Amino acid sequence: MLWLLLLILPCLGASVPGTPGPERPGIVGGCPVAARSFPWQVSLRFYSMRQHRWQHQCGGSLVHPRWVLTAAHCLEPQELGACAFRVQAGGLRLYAPGEELSRVVQIIRHPEYNSSLGAAGGADIALLRLEADVPRGRGVPVSLPAAALSIPARKICWVTGWGDLGYHRPLPPPYHLREVAVPVVGNGECDQRYRNSSRHRPAIRDDMLCAGDKDQNSCQGDSGGPLVCRWNCTWVQVGVVSWGRCCGLQNFPGVYTRVASYVPWIRSYVPWFSGP
Ligand code: ARG
């Protein structure tokens, strides 16, 4: 019997007390991003009078050199116009000396987003049109999924951002972008988990997608950023960071806006971009 226990022990990995595991601080969990791995990631900025700088507010992604996809709840209150925001593309670290910000000239919030329900009400998606194309050296757009794409449960995808490392644990300077691998959780299972803590029915709508596990999740400040999966060597953005209960709790995956549900809407504004 003992030999059996010895055989399976190493497989339990980090769950065995005292086993030295890989370093796992996060976005929640994860690692710092190496140059050029997620070149579509942008930081959405809002001017802070207190800090006298364009402060990181949310993530976003380039879906075209002139268009950013983000979450509608990142652009609250609704009265705020395009000039209240800037976009930083191409930087791995926030507020790096000499960073260049792009002006936003148009905000398109999804018409079904309901700001009184917030992200949990669904349609948490928005587009930003930039004043000029982001040059290739500072950003490469990510591919959008086919509208019919279904994403299998347990597929491993990646989420990136400058958000908190855990509950009330902000990312410290030099604010280096982080990535973490997260398993997709089926909508039925995710709805079960959120059922008791949400006043919405279903808690997880069809236009949402869940992903994450204990210590592998998105968190505050990651909102609006991309969840990407790889198919045949192509990265496809399947989700937009939207909401979740705390961060990195075992039974509460992160909840994302399901991009495939909104591809026709996105395509009605964003021209096709066939790559470099
Ligand atoms: N709503 C948050 C934001 O504004 C992000 C939510 C992600 N939370 C989570 N538990 N996965 O940044």
Encode pLDDT of 18-39 as tens digits.
333 344 445 888 878 877 799 9
DSSP state of 254: E
Q: How far apart are CA 53 and CA 73, in angstroms?
A: 21
pLDDT tens-digit profile of 178-204?
A: 999 999 999 999 999 999 888 888 999
pLDDT for residue 276 = 56
- As a whole-number percent, the residues of the chain with pLDDT over 90 amount to 78
pLDDT level of residue 237 (50, 70, 90 thresholds): very high
Q: Residue 11 above 60 pLDDT? A: no
Residue 197 φ then ψ, to 5°: -110, 10
pLDDT level of residue 176 (50, 70, 90 thresholds): very high
Report CA(26)–ligand 1 centroid distance (Å). 13
Ligand 1 binding pocket includes 224 (Cβ within 6 Å):
no
The predicted model gives 135-144 an average pLDDT of 95
Ligand 1 binding pocket includes 163 (Cβ within 6 Å):
yes
CATH 2.40.10.10, the chain: domain bounds: 21-33+143-260, 41-141
Q: Residue 5 above 80 pLDDT? A: no
The predicted model gives 172-177 an average pLDDT of 97
Q: Which CATH superfamily is domain 21-33+143-260 in?
A: Trypsin-like serine proteases (2.40.10.10)
Mutate to test the pocket of ligand 1, among 219, 240, 251, 252 (most ligand atoms within 8 A of CB): 219
| Three-state DSSP state, 229 | strand
From the list 56, 61, 64, 73, the catalytic residue is 73
Cα dist from 112 to 84, 125, 194, whole Å: 22, 9, 22
pLDDT for residue 232 = 87
Q: Look up 223 and say whether it is catalytic.
A: yes
Of 3, 28, 58, the C-alpha closest to 166 is 28
Whole-prediction pTM: 0.88
Q: How far apart are CA 55 and CA 34, in angstroms?
A: 23
Kindly report the average pLDDT of the chain as a whole number.
89
Q: How far apart are CA 261 and CA 162, in angstroms?
A: 26
**DSSP annotation string for 114-135:** -TTT-GGGS---EEEEESSPPP
pLDDT level of residue 275 (50, 70, 90 thresholds): low
Do 180 and 29 touch, CB atoms closer than 8 A?
A: yes
| Three-state DSSP state, 16 | coil
Report CA(149)–ligand 1 centroid distance (Å). 24
Report CA(247)–ligand 1 centroid distance (Å). 8
The predicted model gives 77-90 an average pLDDT of 95
From the list 102, 223, 242, 261, the catalytic residue is 223
Residue nearest to atom 11 of ligand 1 (CA): 254
pLDDT for residue 152 = 97
Atom of ligand 1 nearest to the CA of 243: 6
Fold entry, domain 41-141: Thrombin, subunit H (2.40.10)
The H or E element that residue 267 is part of is helix 263-267
pLDDT for residue 26 = 53
The angle formed by the CA atoms of residues 51, 115 and 240, to the nearest 5 degrees, is 75
pLDDT for residue 8 = 36
Q: Residue 101 above 70 pLDDT? A: yes
Ligand 1 binding pocket includes 159 (Cβ within 6 Å):
no
The predicted model gives 66-73 an average pLDDT of 98
